[in-house]
Amino acid sequence: MITEEKIAVGTVKVSPMGIGTLNWPLNKETDSDAEASLRACVDAGINFVDTAEAYGFGTSEKLTRNVVGAVNGQCVVATKFAPVPWRRDSEDLVAACKASKERLGVEAIDLYQIHWPDIIQPLKPFGFEEVKNEKYWDGIARCYEQGLIKNVGVSNYGVKILEQAHAALSARGVPIASNQINYSLLYRKSGSQATVDKCKELGIQPIGYFPLANGLLAGRYTAGKPPKGPKGWTMKKYIEGGVTSRGVAYPAGGVTPLIDEMRRIGDARGKTVPQVAINYVICKGVIPIPGARDAKMAADNAGALGWRLSAAEVVALEAAADGLGFEFSGGGFKLE
């Protein structure tokens, strides 16, 4: 099924889900599997691609440019500015924006996002803190006013700082189009749902990364079939359970009860477990951006489009998730 549904993100219109580029190589400027995954997305009507200068130190932006060009898709491309400590004023953001624009090969960036609040303060333990959020807001406003970008976005902004950014930019007549946060059926608390609600109140479109909770909600992992490599150890408590870590109890079976409920609903609809997970995020008014290493994974993710879970199914899924007694942040930022 090819989706024709589109959602306004500022001045651009995007599909109800997109594709994130973290699953693409971070050290290559061309890649056949990345091309195949985007082609599968475009074939399904998906037109939204999200990357960042921090992915591969700009290499991901070059790969995104080349993949979009090879697929010949009319894609909306978003990227992000990294507010690292040595970027100390608004001009640093403007310069970074121009560099991203060049790597992407565009006249103006469709959606330019501040990747996270200015929380990296290496000298804070020594009593020195230099928070530069307002300077970054000034810089991204200048990019918007100069036509370097079509829309302003933020990322990993919680309720408090989102309100502050909204007030500061609105005073200059610069709208915030989006806020990208960690959001999934397995990560709605710790400020995530409250942030989604605040986005809707302010007219900001929420975008959700990790909609599959780093693969936990794909239904592929079991105690007998864990992820390969170090990921298998870090995910063990979520998959197998039966342990208490940092004050959180992970019951025996881990995430299994939630996967079982997702599978029950998916089987009744002829949908896969990951399709249910992604569709849940769509139903909550958030644009999910799952990654995809190849065409097969991308096509399966795209099966989340063209239908909606019922209100009763959403309630059942949330009850199963809450019943676990734990969530999974996947290393996403704590919302401030």
pTM of the predicted structure, to 2 decimals: 0.96
Which class is domain 7-215+272-307?
Answer: alpha beta
d(CA 120, CA 89): 15
The CA distances from residue 55 to 24, 65, 213, 236, 282, in Å, are: 10, 14, 19, 27, 25
Query: What pLDDT does 230 receive?
Result: 86
* 280 in active site: no
* DSSP label at residue 217: G
Query: What pLDDT does 334 receive?
Result: 77
Query: What pLDDT does 1 receive?
Result: 60
Q: How far is CA 323 from the centre of its chain?
A: 25
d(CA 123, CA 64): 35
- The residue among 200, 90, 170 whose CA lies nearest residue 135 is 90
Q: Mean pLDDT of residues grouped by 10 in the chain (336 residues)?
A: 87 98 96 97 97 97 97 92 95 98 98 94 82 97 98 97 98 98 95 97 98 94 87 90 92 96 98 98 98 96 97 98 92 75
The CA distances from residue 179 to 106, 244, 258, 288, in Å, are: 22, 33, 27, 12
Tokens of 137: 């807001």
d(CA 154, CA 205): 10
How buried is 225 (Cβ within 10 angstroms: 0-12 exposed, 13-18 middle, 19+ buried)?
Answer: exposed
How buried is 40 (Cβ within 10 angstroms: 0-12 exposed, 13-18 middle, 19+ buried)?
Answer: buried
**Active-site residue, from 55, 144, 238, 250:** 55
Query: What pLDDT does 229 receive?
Result: 86
Residue 39's identity, in one-letter code, is: R
- The residue among 299, 251, 304, 247 whose CA lies nearest residue 279 is 304
68 within 8 A of 120, measured Cβ to Cβ:
no
